[in-house]
Amino acid sequence: MGAALALTGCVGDDNGLGGVAAQLGTLRVVATTTQVADFTREIAGDGASVTQLIQPNQSAHSYDPSAADLMALSKADVLVQNGAGLEEWLDDAVEASGFSGVTVDSSTGIDLDETQGDEHDDAADADDHDHAAGNPHIWTDPANAEQMVETITTALSTSYPAKAADFRANADAYIAKLTALDDWSRTNIDTVPSAERLFVSNHDAFSYFVDAYGIDYVGSVIPSFDDSSEPSAAEMDKLVADIEATGTKAVFSETSLSPKTAQTIAKEAGVEVYSGEDALYGDSLGPAGSDGATYIDAQLHNVRMLLQSWGVTPTALPASLQE
């Protein structure tokens, strides 16, 4: 770039971003997770270069930044994170890289679900991952995704006023698609009787999603927000019993996790397991060309798989989601 951008502060903090502007070239943005990187690309268009740290099917909880990641951070003007305690490795990476730009916490303004109940405290303590702020998987509810997009848009617009109108237009177009996604998902899920909307996932990542659509979250194979945790034998036995007692028809693995434990529990409970190409996109989006290459693609895939497990054929997508 012909001139360096002098960006300081943290979005949501009192110091704000007033008066900060990009003078020449393209805003350099680093985004942590696959989801916030996708949001940022949609908003930025050609007004910013976006470097994504976590790659498809990698865990956001246990990510280990590479030397290239630290280099990208050192040169970045803006850092976009999921927040809510998800990226526990990020503070060390920021310090090691010398990053001194603007940090955008995408969880700003979103009410977080509480952490796991007492029955999971021992496992959380053992793994030293407590996500004290609450459940960090905020993006699983499209309404939260819209709020995240608004937060990112505000930060990029303040950091690069010359492109603010473009960022706003891009965000508005994308939010319209998120609204269409939410409407389509709700319309289809609402066709299923509430007593039959039963769901078991691989780890405790979908509470915002199930709350949004009135789904009964029977449990998760890994009873923790952290996908690197391991279930105890007693927890596995309890989940099998809950599946049998509720009449749950399937256990869902996730694309970024090994399906082995999910397969074991499904076999013991005598139900179907959704794995491989049918696994859900939880902590990570998928690679280019997959059913979960973008946030919207991943959400559509997840809803389709759930509907299939409940014996429902989804309606056609609206035109805005077929583009």
**Packed helices 164-189 and 295-309: angle between N→C axes, nearest 10 degrees:** 0
Residue 228: per-residue pLDDT: 67
Domain boundary among 136, 158, 181: 181
Dihedral over alpha carbons 261, 265, 268, 269 (to 10 degrees):
-160
Full domain range(s) for residue 193 = 186-312
Residue 62: per-residue pLDDT: 83
| pTM, rounded to two decimals | 0.88
CB atoms within 10 A of CB 307: 18
- CA angle at 50 for the pair 154 and 99, rounded to the nearest 5°: 80
Rounded Cα distance between 98 and 127, Å, is 29
At residue 169, the 3 state secondary structure works out as helix
Shared domain check, 175 and 196: no
- Which distant-in-sequence residues (6+ apart) come within 8 Å of 145 by Cβ? 35, 39, 139, 178, 295
Shared domain check, 70 and 138: yes
Domain boundary among 181, 210, 226: 181
Residue 53: per-residue pLDDT: 98
CATH of the domain at 67: 3.40.50.1980
Domain count for the chain, please give it.
Answer: 2
Low-confidence ranges of the chain (pLDDT < 50): 1-24, 117-132
